[in-house]
Chain A
Amino acid sequence: MTTCSMKTMKRLVTFILALVFAAAAHAQKEQPLPKDLPSYGPQPALQLPDVRASRLDNGLTVWLVAQPGLPKISFSIAVLGGLANDPANRPGMSELLSRTITQGTKTRGAKQIAEEIQAAGGDLNADANRDRTVISTSVLSSKGEAAVSLLADVLENASFPDNEVTLAKSNLSESLREREAQPGFQANRALARVLFGTGPYSVISPTQDSVAQMNAAELRQEYARRFRPDQALLVAVGDFDPARMSALIRDKLAGWKAPATSPATVNAKPAVPAPHSAYFVARPHSVQTTLVLAAFGPLRGDPDYEAAEVANAVYGGTFSSRLVANIREDKGYTYSPGSGVQTLRQAGIVRTQADVRNAVTGASLNEIDYELNRMVTTSPTEEELSRAKRFLLGIEAISLQSRDSVAAELASLWLNGLPPDGISTYGKKVNAATPEDVDAAAKKYWPASRMTIVAVGEEKVIREALAPFGLPVEAVK
């Protein structure tokens, strides 16, 4: 009824704008580069990290990358299990676990741990997301042994002292209140809820209620269940002798024992497609609307993952992309537009985001809609395609400049079930993606009719902006 006529109106609006913009875009694309501009040099091959992979008898996977030079070592330990694995009545418990795992072991107090890692030149960071918990640090290479000893102690003997857990709960509660005031956090929390319903991936943070109920005994129990060597990867990247580092890791971590029980698994795979509906989070006093549009996308290991990355770079993943050229560089609606292909272990998400001033909320949605659909109707030009591919490969090369990000990249491959040479496979697949592959990915993932819309801001502004789209509009927290 109403819905139907609204939809027609939306299509019409989009169509008119499409015509106007197509002319402008066409003109812009045709512009030749300056005649005196030097051409690119020959593109260097990706210089891949030389990973020595091994496995201890207790099942711990170890990936070492020796990089002489700068006297630093980055360590990253990834353990399977994150917020998706938390007990259903304790949503977000992994976040408290990661805040307290560094706060005491059988033989070390919190302050001692903080001081020892600082003396080694590092911080001890523990971070949980939906799939995993990562403990990482970056230290002076002369302090590699001290760092491995400390990491091993935290992995095997964290004690979750009652007083530290009580304090961490109180500070987590404050941190949650602080985040709950941020539009980006509100949007991401709402998006997880509307995409994943009540499934394991619907939770990205604890709630005040769940924090209040958590206790040290539960943390110890979850830690014992989850922190087991056969579910973990240790990556070290930096200035060390690999044989000595191997021996050191064996010495400090061979005694880490997995419990006899088999590791817990969770089925977080979304069963139903994301709803093509609009949701809003009312946020009084907002001077902008925070927009997120998302739909399910490829997994990291899917055959069309790389093609989707190329499509994303054409669409909104770069500064010279269609979306940015339109809503920022042409219209000036937003400072911060962008898009991405996000991968969890069991779900992929393609997303668009922009914070736009209240007055152009509807106009921005219209343009985003138009650009999403243009990915389906209009194949990338040759220049767009080659730019996207070179961009992805170049950014990969840049990310391999730092020990920290090599460690993070390798941990991410392992978490997605990929081998250490995944970086080189990625490069080859990006290069091999044909225009047809990219078109297919765009047609599969980008249609505006697939997208779930989340908007955070003034309710009245959002309702008015969404009205012409004729979608069901629902309030969400």
Chain B
Amino acid sequence: MRFLIRFAVRVALLGLAFVAQAQEWKAPTAMKKLANGLVVVVSEDHSAPTFGLCLSYGIGFRLEPEGRTGFAHLFEHMMFEGTPVSPKGVFDRVIEGGGGFNNGDTRYDFTEYIESGPISVLEPMLWLEADRMKALDFSVKNLDNQRNVVEEEVRVNVLNQPYGSFYWLDLPQKAFDTYPNSHNFYGDFKDLDAANIEDVKKFYQQYYVPNNAVLAIVGDVNTADVFAKVEKYLASVPAGPPPKQADFSEPAQKSERRFTETDKLANVPALAIGYRMPPRTSPDAIVGAVTAELLHNGDASILYQALVKEKQVAASVGGGDNWPLGNAFEYNGPTLMTSFIVYPDKVSLNQVLSAYDATIAELAKKGPTREQVERIAAKMRSDWYDNLEIPINRASALSHAVLFEGSFDSVYEIPDRVAKVTPEQVKNFAAKYLVPSNRTIINRVPAPPDKTAATGGAQ
């Protein structure tokens, strides 16, 4: 059992801030591993009498079985459907009756369960998290109910919306070749319909074990007290066989991939471009994170300035590294940097793409200026602090870092790592990764009026 505490180092405004740029901020954070393998991270924050909690399990889209697309997310819903001890409804009654809220998120490489509330509801929540880590209700009725709810979720976010989330749902399916990285993460309805209670049991036994989870708690707490309570409620959950390490590697991409989709609901054409990014552990990864933000973050970004303001070929530009389902620091397998561009009818695809290509080519040839890199470093520091300010978000960041790296250090080091990236590195990164043979493009155009047949890829 390891017990590790690192104390706050708050350098800024203490006369030590000799580097004008840096305004470092860290929060006191401690980590402990229980005998059953559950890792617990605590960060005290006494600025409000509240807490945020994130319990991440090392299971995401990539690991869902073939023939069961969308299952990791459907399973996430089942975690709220009661246990033998706490029937359906108890979980929400307790957290909301205590003044808090809860949610769950399924992503490529983790599924997280998050709660926030006044500090007075933390202890019952720890008990309830332990309870649903021990056993679930495995009710067929509730599975049927949540299957309906999830299918409505797919309808409201995909099938009934213009663009149908194609920039995150369809793009990876085209950009990657192996099942883990390239299936329908929300789930084909035939797979959702086929999911049965045995699947739920098996998935639960395989992945929902304490030795595959990281629990982070941030807020108005005493660290030793939280460790004691976690020990009290969660140490008795038995460890399971450790989930097997899976291979998510992709065969190399050889050439550019282009696709066209028609959209019965959209009025305006849109384009998604995805470049394969380096593995999270590569030294290039941090440069990729900065490059993606230089290109996409806000009105000063390179793509907004070039496509919307100067060349006026796009109405809007968005995107980023591991966008929009996460950030550049929370993936653990093949990942894309995505640009999502909405462009007017009067502009042709070729016009948008040549403007886009010219912008990327210039970055790869000249690199960004020193000022551009300093500005984006300030922006990323500022955005990251906003993220860490809110306890539930800090808990998420800490828990994901520990899940992927076994350490939370990166959470507080990211702004400084970003600030060290040079214009030369960005230039080299663009020349190496932002090339046509490393990308996939989907052009999504409104279906011609009065035709009902369409081939939207999100079906």
Residues on A with C-beta less than 8 A from B151 are: 357
Please give the distance in Å from B350's CB to the nearest CB on chain A.
Answer: 19
Q: Are B381 and A121 in contact (CB under 8 A)?
A: yes
- Is residue A333 within 8 Å, beta carbon to beta carbon, of the partner chain? yes
Q: Which of B47, B48, B117, B118 has the most chain A CB atoms closer than 10 A to its own CB? A: B118
Q: Does B299 contact A (CB under 8 A)?
A: yes
A288 near B155 (CB under 8 angstroms)? yes
Residues 143-171 of B contacting A (Cβ, < 8 Å): 144-153, 155-156, 159-162
How far, in whole Å, are A110 and B310 apart by their CA atoms in the complex? Answer: 12
Pick from B116, B147, B388: contact of A398, CB under 8 Å: B116
Which of A31, A33, A70, A239 has the most chain B CB atoms inside 10 A of its CB?
Answer: A70
Which of A230-283 touch B at CB < 8 Å? 239
Q: Which of B196-204, B265-273, B416-424 contacts A (4 or more CB under 8 A)?
A: B265-273
**A198: interface (CB < 8 Å):** no
Q: Which of B97, B128, B378, B388 contacts A119 (CB 8 A)?
A: B378
Q: Give B73 Cβ to nearest chain A Cβ, in Å.
A: 12
Whether the Cβ atoms of B316 and A175 lie closer than 8 Å is: yes
In the complex the two chains form, what is the Cα distance from A355 to B60 in whole Å? 27
Q: Is A43 interfacial (CB-CB < 8 Å)?
A: yes
Contact with A along B375-408 (1 / 0, CB 8 A): 1101101110110111100000000000000000
CA distance A115 to B88 in the complex (A): 51
Looking at the assembled complex, report how far the CB atom of B434 sits from the nearest CB atom of chain A, in whole angstroms: 21
Q: Contact at A33–B145, with CB atoms within 8 Å?
A: no
Residue of B47, B99, B100, B119 with most partner-chain A CB within 10 A: B99
When distances are taken between beta carbons in the complex, the residues of chain B under 8 Å from A119 are 371, 374-375, 378-379
Hey, which chain A residues are within 8 Å of B391, CB to CB?
401
Would you call A401 and B92 a contact (CB within 8 A)? Answer: no
Nearest CB to that of A171 among chain B residues? B315
- B388: nearest chain-A partner, CB-CB: A70
Contact indicator A44/B94 (Cβ below 8 Å): no
How far apart sit A344 and B254, CA to CA, in the bound complex (Å)? Answer: 56
- Determine if A351 is an interface residue (Cβ-Cβ < 8 Å): no
- Please tell me if the beta carbons of A357 and B155 are within 8 angstroms of each other in the complex: yes
Q: In the complex the two chains form, is B148's CB within 8 Å of A333's CB?
A: yes
A342 to B372, CA, bound (A): 42
A178 to B151, CA, bound (A): 25
Chain A residues whose CB sits within 8 angstroms of the CB of B452 once the complex forms: 285
14 contacts between A and B (CB under 8 A): A31-B87, A37-B128, A43-B118, A70-B25, A114-B298, A115-B300, A118-B297, A167-B309, A181-B265, A288-B155, A288-B159, A325-B89, A383-B97, A394-B99
Question: Residues of B at under 8 Å CB distance from A?
Answer: 12-13, 20, 23, 25, 47-50, 85-90, 92-94, 96-102, 116-124, 127-128, 131, 144-153, 155-156, 159-162, 220, 264-268, 297-300, 305, 308-309, 312, 315-316, 342, 344, 371, 374-376, 378-379, 381-383, 385-386, 388-391, 452
> 7 closest A-B pairs (Cβ-Cβ)?
A394-B99, A121-B382, A332-B148, A44-B49, A174-B315, A114-B299, A41-B120
